[in-house]
Structure 1
């Protein structure tokens, strides 16, 4: 879809700020960035089991010179927090990325759902091919974690005197999943704990894929639809009284929902969000008992939302859609429920942190004013952080292109496991820009009282 233009308020650096910026950018160490990317990729951190990875990052931040600590949430998971205290009178800035990965590296759990095999980009064993790092989560989230750490490292090495506090944070539970066997972790559970337990700032930046600037953050609602029938037997002839399939009518419901979902997206497109919806899973019966067709077939949907939609609005709209489907097909018996919800959120584009990110984008993209972001539907911790009251902007890195992507990893989403160091370096410079832009000014200069 077409880009959405955003006006950038120009605020050039002073000569001193420009020197700090140039000095900090000169400290970027591509080998250090690459090695951290490899090291953290090699520490497996599936959702709900991020303890080892975040303990590693706590030690790394301490070695950088931050005051860092591990914030335990439960025995398997916790958050990594590092701080630099400013001299006072400036705005506090939070730099954030999640640290959990979306697949388990377990053939019994992952195959065939991720594909026919676990490729190298789906395994937590990081390695480099030239300037490319490969391994589970090497790009998302481990490349983001590495880039944020490198940006702060450069600020420290350049001796940039910050007025405002700078916090570097990595949380578990950031994936849009729920893991019952690990404390039902997921859906921003780690970052919610973090912000409810003393970690705050005046502004925040979250790093995610795409070299764009987003001030709107999609929400998400999950639905379960149960299509009802009776348990049968494969030896029964079709049309036998008393037997009703649940699977065949479920196919009709799927087709009906697939007709509605694109209309839903068009109806609810906002400034930066075109909220998609997908039927993500279907479950019915016993795979080891195919002689007995199931009395229930379950459909699971993930429907994204824009910041103006409430979860109650989404519930009411889905109720209406399902009732209309059943009215058109009175022979179908079904019930449905919302099983999870994370509301969307928005930071106004005139907010300081959005404008700072726009200036950083312009600085690191040849001086060209930001043309506007492609429509988005990817749900992240940004929605929760912003909803909890912290003005937040999403920035990111160029998704690895055809020229850089090894051919064997080019199909599908994979393990989000291929990062390209030069792309991370460009974002590192943008982060350095916004740190200096925000944390070397007075609170009044950044629009705070």
Structure 2
């Protein structure tokens, strides 16, 4: 459904209202507000203030003393659809050397710290690229639509939740794994469909899930003064190494078997834990291996667990003498929105309007987001994104590894912002019947 002449005028007027300096300043301010998973209250309260200043009906949803969500509504005439525009607000690191180093590297780089700064069009600081500029670009799109005076029939719902990172934080009520968005959608926030804004300038309607496993390899408590081979003493660490290598051999074949649609579900061993660093004279009786298996929307988490069970039984059968048990300790099912759903087609048109060519299709993905939970809770969702800052634009000091996802190119957000505006106007200036609702 092409834009009418009037819709095109509204679209051009709204795009003309995009304010790059406002977007940069808001991204800088939000990046300077520390919001690790389970402690997003200050950032969410800031967003409520900003959305209220934009003229939106904004509210803060309390989850705990440390955490909360931010929601803002731009109402229309009531004849149209309700559209969710979503991004998480929490960061994956604590910005605390005592907790993050050496696991992030030898030191906290500037893109892992909260004292953010600008460098030309770049905003540098923990989470500047993911998730802070995702939040502020959604806000800028709605801000521009409102300033342009576009007469909406439907309602735009800006929604920013905590607990979106794929982690669990024990000291903050085990927050994470979409806990914030789950509470948000069970406490009055709803929509007919929506967009989640994430990295990569692509369109995804399939949303990966994930399953977390802990493998415990068993031995006996030892003592470094005991000769090797002494009856009654067995290492857990050396057998665990054999299990790790066997899993590393199995994981690529798992991915190959379950690649389907837009998803190539990867798996990674992420942590190994054993014994006491302060007393290495006593080799541990248990070595724990932690891994994340992604899954596509066509797999249930029970099917993933059954497949992992079979893989572990096979590994043990091929390694006599290795004793181990295992469990799945967290999971989020994958989900999908039909490719012909209105919001998917609208997002694709928005992409094509920026590129001037048909959308060629997205590369395979395994990145898990709140989209899986939102979709599973009943809101059809499409993922669109922005160009992930590449080696040609990121300063060399921040080019290695994932880092703090903390370098945002504001100029690179303008094209995605225009695509968001396209879908907002496309979806919310029509009556419900035109959207097949």
TM-score normalised per structure 2: 0.99
- What do you get for the CA RMSD once the two structures are aligned? 0.5
SS of the aligned residue for 1:105 comes to coil
Give deviations 1:272-329, integer Å, cap 9, x for gaps: 0000001100000000111100000000010000001101101111110001111111
Secondary structure of 2:86 counterpart: strand
State the alpha-carbon separation in 2 of the partners of residues 384 and 250 from structure 1.
33
Q: Which runs of 5+ in 1 are unaligned?
A: 1-10
* 1:25-104 paired onto structure 2 within 5 Å: 25-104=15-94
For residue 185 of structure 1, give the secondary structure of its aligned residue in structure 2: coil
One of 341, 361, 369 as aligned partner of 2:358? 369
Q: Deviations over 1:111-147 (max 9, x none)?
A: 0000011000000122110001100000000010110
Is it true that 1:199 corresponds to 2:199 in the alignment? no
SS at 2:423's partner residue? Answer: helix
Query: Residue deviations 1:360-386, cap 9 Å, x none?
Result: 000011x11100001000000000000
- Please state if 1:424 is matched with 2:424: no
Offset from partner CA, 1:198-253 (integer Å, 9 cap, x none): 10000110000000000000000000000000010111111111110000000000
Q: State the distance in 2 between where 1:404 and 1:301 align.
A: 33
1:313 aligned partner: 303
Supply the distance in 1 between the matched residues of 2:89 and 2:23 (Cα, whole angstroms): 16
Aligned to 2:435: 446
User: Aligned-pair distance for 1:403?
Assistant: 2.0
Taking the aligned partners of 1:234 and 1:99, their CA distance within structure 2 comes to 48
Distance 1:255 1:88 in 2: 58
- Name the structure 2 match of 1:405: 394
Tell me which residue corresponds to 2:213. 223
Query: Which residue of structure 2 aligns with residue 159 of structure 1?
Result: 149
Residue 105 in structure 1 maps to residue 95 in structure 2: yes
How many aligned residue pairs are there?
437
User: Residues 40-439 of structure 1: matches in 2 within 5 Å?
Assistant: 40-365=30-355, 367-439=356-428
Distance 1:205 1:173 in 2: 18
- Distance in 2 between the 1:369 and 1:385 partners? 28
Distance in 2 of aligned mates of 1:86 and 1:243? 72
Please list every run of 5 or more consecutive structure 2 residues that lacks an aligned counterpart in the other structure: none
Shift of 1:330: 2.1
Distance 1:178 1:444 in 2: 42
Give the superposition deviation at 1:344: 0.2
Deviations 1:34-86 (A, max 9, x none): 00010000000000000000000000000000000101011110100000111
Q: Distance in 2 between matches of 1:127 and 1:23?
A: 31
Question: 1:422, CA displacement in angstroms?
Answer: 1.2
Partners of 2:393 and 2:193 lie apart in 1 by: 34
| Cα distance between partner residues in 2 of 1:37 and 1:89 | 33
Per the alignment, in what secondary structure is the counterpart of residue 139 of structure 1?
helix
SS in 1 for 2:298: coil
For residues 442 and 19 of structure 1, what CA distance do their matches in structure 2 show? 18
Quote the Cα distance in structure 2 between the aligned partners of 1:39 and 1:364: 28
Looking at structure 1, the residues matched to 30 and 181 of structure 2 have their Cα atoms a distance apart, in angstroms, of: 19
